[in-house]
Amino acid sequence: MKKYKAYAKVNIFLKITGVRGNYHEILSRFMRVKNLYDELSFVPKEETDAKMNTFKIIGDFSCTTEQNTIYKAYFALKEATGSEALEQLMHNYAIKVEKNIPAFAGLGGGSSDAATYLKMCNNALNLGLSLNELAKIGLQVGADVPFFIYGYESANVSGIGEVVEEFLEPLLDIEVYTPKIEISTPTVYKVYREDFFAPIDGFVAQELKDKNSLEVLASMSADEANDLFKPALQEYKDLKNHYKHGYYFSGSGSSFFKIKEIENG
């Protein structure tokens, strides 16, 4: 059975540009981590599972099926297409996930799994959905899903995650370190809004959009590059014990990453 790779990402930079209701608008450079990915495949269900006619995910997850982003992606795709073939597919097959990307880590593992699942269904069932249509469905599952739908190696992501613009640059050699600290993204954003709120202006945003990732990181410290680093440190005191010089912070954490090209340069 064919396996599909669901890659992790890091946020080279993540800046808040404003708010939209309860959401924060961002500008961020997402970059794929080429050596860290989950693998997804369809596997035939056992006869007893098929009779039960329930959506089945095989994999090492700490959440319930209903909380899983892949299940949410299935539900969103079913709502958008009304496809009976999709229901039949998931009646006969389970989705198997070989999980390598840590959860609660700022690496987009759940979003990448959801995006990969949507693309797998689109291909398997010849649904004929464009990447833009899939991204719109994916956005209902999570703000990072559109980036993974488009499959870019590097992109400027803005709005609440729905605006994804490819940024052409070499894929960097990224080393990721994830401490065992479960971080809540909503909590970090809440602390940011209460204690650190300082959106960047349009000129700074445009400058960041135009610079390549190596230039950005060479000119910024970890807390300058990511507006969520300080609020995460304030809320999760143990994080500071894991920070090492030369590393940057991805998303709302808890992962840190470094670029080997900077080390060698």
| Residue 12, C-beta contacts closer than 8 angstroms, at least 6 positions apart | 28, 29, 30, 31, 213, 216, 217, 225, 248
Q: Span 56-78, mean pLDDT?
A: 93
Fold classification of 4-166 is Ribosomal Protein S5; domain 2 (3.30.230)
Name the CATH architecture for the domain at 174-264: 2-Layer Sandwich (3.30)
The answer on pLDDT for 13 being more than 60 is yes
Give the C-alpha separation, 129 to 111, whole Å.
19
Indicate whether this model's pTM tops 0.75. Answer: yes
pLDDT for the residue numbered 48? 73
Q: Tell me the pLDDT tens digit for each residue of 86-119.
A: 999 999 999 999 999 998 899 999 999 999 999 9
The answer on pLDDT for 5 being more than 90 is yes
pLDDT for the residue numbered 264? 59
Q: Does residue 9 carry a catalytic annotation?
A: yes
pLDDT above 70 coverage of the chain, percent: 98
pLDDT for the residue numbered 260? 86
Structural contact between residues 149 and 131, judged by C-beta atoms closer than 8 angstroms: yes
Q: Does residue 209 carry a catalytic annotation?
A: no
Q: Tell me the pLDDT tens digit for each residue of 121-174.
A: 999 999 999 999 999 999 999 999 999 999 999 999 999 899 999 999 999 999
| Residue 31, C-beta contacts closer than 8 angstroms, at least 6 positions apart | 9, 10, 12, 153, 154, 171, 172, 174, 213
pLDDT for the residue numbered 46? 84
User: In the chain, what are the domain boundaries?
Assistant: 4-166, 174-264
The answer on pLDDT for 252 being more than 70 is yes
Catalytic residue among 38, 113, 144, 227: 144
The phi, psi pair for 129, rounded to 5°, reads: -80, 135
pLDDT for the residue numbered 50? 63
The answer on pLDDT for 239 being more than 70 is yes
Q: Span 44-56, mean pLDDT?
A: 80
Residue with the two structure tokens 């990721």 = 176
Give the C-alpha separation, 67 to 263, whole Å.
39
- Establish whether domains 4-166 and 174-264 are of one fold: no
Tokens representing 135 are 């991204």
Q: Tell me which long-range contacts 230-238 makes (C-beta under 8 A, separation of at least 24).
A: 230/196, 231/188, 231/189, 231/191, 231/192, 231/195, 231/196, 232/183, 232/188, 232/191, 234/191, 234/195, 235/187, 235/188, 235/191, 236/181, 236/183, 238/179, 238/181
